[in-house]
Amino acid sequence: MGNKNTPEIRFPGFIGDWEQRRLNEYLTTSKVKNRDERFGKEDVLSVSGDFGIVNQIEFQGRSFAGVSVAPYGVVETGDVVYTKSPLKSNPFGIIKTNKGQAGIVSTLYAVYKPNDNVDSKFVERYFENDQRLNRYLKPLVNKGAKNDMKVSDDNALIGTVVFPVEVDEQRKISSFFNQLDNLITLQQQELDTLKQTKQGFLQKMFPKEGETVPEIRFPGFSGEWEERKLSEIAEFNPKSILPDEFEYVDLESVVGTNLIAHRTESKESAPSRAQRLAQRGDVFYQTVRPYQKNNYLYDLPYNNYVFSTGYAQMRPIIDSYFLLSRVQEELFVKTVLDRSTGTSYPAINSNDLSEIEIKVPTDNDEQTQIGNFFKQLDETIALQQKELDALKQTKKAFLQKMFI
């Protein structure tokens, strides 16, 4: 364990206390403006909490620059930018380093030049922890400002930070987090590719509108699929007696096709919406905001899980995994939305859902093969998501333990 002036985790070869100084000993406010209009509206930069400093057109599809960009601040590579306007995620703003090309930012941003005693990428990493950033900025809010959360350009530099004395140590820390970010980005890309692959198969392995056979089919199967109402292939909302104590699953507990949370409730004090007692093989379809596609196949060996009435409970007489995959497909979701009511929170009731017709293979083995295919794909996606979440948690822990 480190003392109050050394971090808990430190790279070998570095010793001695970190120094407590004002941030203005590391950064200097830049007064460089785009007076000669060397940069145009296509060079305007945006600051994002997730993506850092990026070209506004590439990031948001257009430039939101004013009539003239002459008053805009010039941002060179390595400069530090502070967003003075509060954001939803950070009420006092955010601090980022420009790792890309030079450009300009509006007067909503403050631009700082790094001094020789600091690595500007380290400055960003230091403030990447939201709690540390907000602790630092909160005392610096301008007194009497119209916007209570606003911090001026110079005020943002007068707070106290604790940095390594050696710039090499700062660089080593920022380089470590860059590598960790690259791993996270790669993992995210692989996850996105898997999800896109699944969407592609969902479109091609079920018949399109007006057709009776899918574009892609497993070998050995032929013949047209038949059209059936959901009520003909599944029992809807079967009646059951709730146990005295159970695990409750609400609408926030399912993301994608994964159960991410549940909580213990007693029958006497449980929410009135806790009514759907799960049986293995049941498919739970989210009837509120169905475009989110948060639907779950209950495959746990327990008889004490109860779902909210925000889900339609389907007990299939066909392959359960086939049905789960079928209701994830875009054409089905569009059909559900067409029959939903409400705009901000579109919803469909179970009776209307049960009347929707889908095409189903007449051969049970074909249903099973399709269901198993998507089951394996979902398991791969879930594993990839778990690895991504673990990487993010690892980064979060290092942000706490490698800084003061």
> Confidence class of residue 2 from pLDDT cuts 50, 70 and 90?
very low
- DSSP string covering 119-176: -HHHHHHHT-SHHHHHHHHGGGSPTT-SSTT---TTGGGSSEEEE-SSHHHHHHHHHH
pLDDT band at 1 (very low <50, low <70, confident <90, very high): very low
The CA-based angle 259-384-403, given to 5 degrees, is 100
Note whether 19-163 and 167-219+361-404 share their fold. Answer: no
Q: What is the pLDDT of residues 37-84, one digit of tens each?
A: 999 999 999 998 888 899 999 988 999 898 899 999 999 999 999 988
Q: How many CB atoms lie within 10 A of CB 36?
A: 8
> Is residue 143 packed enough to be buried (19+ CB in 10 Å), middle (13-18) or exposed (0-12)?
exposed
Residues 6+ apart with CB under 8 A from 241: 277
Percentage of the chain lying above the pLDDT 70 cut: 96
Radius of gyration of the chain (CA): 27
Distance CA(225)–CA(234), nearest Å, equals: 17
Query: Are the C-beta atoms of residues 66 and 44 closer than 8 Å to each other?
Result: no
Q: Cβ(98)–Cβ(53) under 8 Å?
A: yes
CA 109/CA 105 separation, integer angstroms: 6
The pLDDT assigned to 3 comes to 60
Q: Does domain 226-359 have CATH number 3.40.120.10?
A: no
**What are the domain boundaries of the chain?**
19-163, 167-219+361-404, 226-359
* DSSP track, 241-302: PPPSEEEEE-TTSEETTEE---EEEETTTS-TTEEEE--TT-EEEE-BSGGG---EE---S-
Task: Give the C-alpha separation, 393 to 388, whole Å.
Answer: 9
Q: Which of 370, 40, 377 is nearest to 218 (CA)?
A: 370
The pLDDT tens digits of the residues spanning 127-179 come to: 999 899 989 998 988 765 455 667 889 999 999 999 999 999 999 999 999 99
Tell which residue, 383, 356, 97, has the closest CA to residue 232.
Answer: 356
Give CA–CA dist 84/96, Å, rounded: 12
Predicted confidence band of residue 123 (pLDDT cuts 50, 70, 90): very high
Q: Residue 42 gets which letter from DSSP?
A: G
pLDDT(294) > 60 = yes
Question: pLDDT digits over 206-255, tens only?
Answer: 999 999 999 999 999 999 999 999 999 999 999 999 999 999 999 999 99
The CA distance from 291 to 328, in Å, is 9
Q: Which amino acid does the sequence have at 105? A: V
Region 364-368: what's the mean pLDDT? 97
Supply the DSSP string of 2-36, one letter for each residue. Answer: --TTS-SS--TT--SPPEEEEGGGTEEE---B-TT
pLDDT band at 283 (very low <50, low <70, confident <90, very high): very high
Strand partners, 162: 20
Q: Which CATH architecture has domain 19-163?
A: Alpha-Beta Complex (3.90)
Looking at the domain covering 167-219+361-404, what would its CATH class be? mainly alpha
Q: What is the 8-class DSSP label of residue 207? A: P
Q: Give the model's pLDDT for residue 148.
A: 60
- Calpha distance 46→94 (Å, rounded): 12
Q: Write phi, then psi, for 5 (nearest 5 degrees).
A: -115, 15
- Separation of alpha carbons 377 and 267, rounded Å: 36
For CA atoms 375, 380, 383, 385, give the dihedral sign: negative
Residue 308 host element (H or E): strand 305-308
CA–CA separation, 265 and 246 (whole Å):
6
Name the 3-class secondary structure at 78: coil
